[in-house]
Structure 1
Amino acid sequence: MTTRAEAVLDTARAPRSKTLAAWLAFLGGPLGLHRFYLYGLGDMTGWLLPIPTALGLYGIERARMYGLDDGWSWVLIPFVGFTIAGCALMAIIYGLTTPERWNARHNPQVPPDALPGRTNWFTIGAVVLALLVGATVLMSSIVFSFQRYFEHQIEEGRRISQ
């Protein structure tokens, strides 16, 4: 249930642009910027998104310091990749949402076909880049984790057999 104060605040806020939300999800998604833009600073998911990003960046730093044979690095690195891929997916979802559905969900105070929910070339650019980068990062993360996992299994098998 929405209280009277929330209803007044909701109608007073500026309409949320689908294009800006898609670009924020693509460029600043791992930091939760798109969530803060759409739902405000009280959004818990927005505050939680930097955690797997930081873990993945810590894994990259461990790989630089200790080499790729470090077990923790190959466990931690995919966190940043999967977070980037998930945020790219959100950018695609935002960009492909119909104007009526976007405005009904994020801009209930404006007409269903209002400008903030419309798709333009900048929105399409965000979708195309998010698809390109997101798919590349996702596949790279999957390949990296499986490669390191199977190499670890082979090493353990060799160690057991000796």
Structure 2
Amino acid sequence: MTAQTGFKNKFTAALLALLTGVLGGHRFYLRGLRDPWAWLHGPLFLLGLLGVWRFVAHRQDDPLTWALLAVFVAVVIAVVVQTLVIGLTPDAKWDARWNAAAVRRSQNGWGPVLIVIFALFMSVGSLTGGLAYVLQRFFGGS
């Protein structure tokens, strides 16, 4: 799968992955509307949100809720990993994959790296909070 028409900016792709990744925005930007994986992001995220809603709003603690929460976590982890991969791809490799036919070359600088740093901060904070809750629930009961 090589480049499509138009110049693909790595900063834009990383920012879309961070902000709209759960809905597949970065994949639509890079691969277009025919990308089946992009269309899968949204429904899986909504299923995961259903689990969050069941757990937070209704205090339901059943296997279905935990399965839906696992879907939510999987989607978020996939988006964070995709943000890291996009943001940390060297410019030459990025251009070879997404801008092979373009005359213009990428000169991204620190923008994608700052997006990666922010994504790592968000994921570490979420992981710490989630682990604290799960461990407290496991060892402390209710």
Q: Give TM-score scaled by structure 2 length.
A: 0.82
Quote how far apart the aligned CAs of 1:81 are.
Answer: 2.3
Quote how far apart the aligned CAs of 1:109 are.
Answer: 1.2
Distance across 1 between alignment mates of 2:127 and 2:99: 32
Quote how far apart the aligned CAs of 1:55 are.
Answer: 1.1
Quote how far apart the aligned CAs of 1:135 are.
Answer: 3.3
Task: Name stretches of at least 5 consecutive residues in structure 2 with no aligned partner.
Answer: none
Q: What is aligned with 2:41?
A: 49
Does the Cα contact within 8 Å between 1:15 and 1:107 map onto a contact in 2?
Answer: yes
- State which of 42, 47, 52 in structure 2 corresponds to 1:60: 52
Task: Name stretches of at least 5 consecutive residues in structure 1 with no aligned partner.
Answer: 156-162
Q: Which has the larger radius of gyration?
A: 1
- State which of 96, 105, 109 in structure 2 corresponds to 1:114: 105
Q: What is aligned with 1:129?
A: 118
Distance across 2 between alignment mates of 1:86 and 1:72: 21
- State which of 27, 34, 45 in structure 2 corresponds to 1:35: 27
Q: Give TM-score scaled by structure 1 length.
A: 0.73
Q: Which deviations, in whole Å up to 9, do the C-alpha atoms of 1:80-139 show, x marking residues without a partner? A: 22211221111111111111100010111135x813xx3323212211011111233345
Q: Does the alignment pair 1:94 with 2:67?
A: no
TM-aligned CA distance change 1:76 to 1:45, over 3 Å: same
Deviates more, 1:54-63 or 1:37-46: 54-63
Does the Cα contact within 8 Å between 1:81 and 1:137 map onto a contact in 2?
Answer: no
Distance across 1 between alignment mates of 2:46 and 2:97: 31
Instruction: Tell me the matched-pair count.
Output: 141
Q: What is aligned with 1:71?
A: 63
Q: Which deviations, in whole Å up to 9, do the C-alpha atoms of 1:131-162 show, x marking residues without a partner? A: 111233345556666776x58xx99xxxxxxx
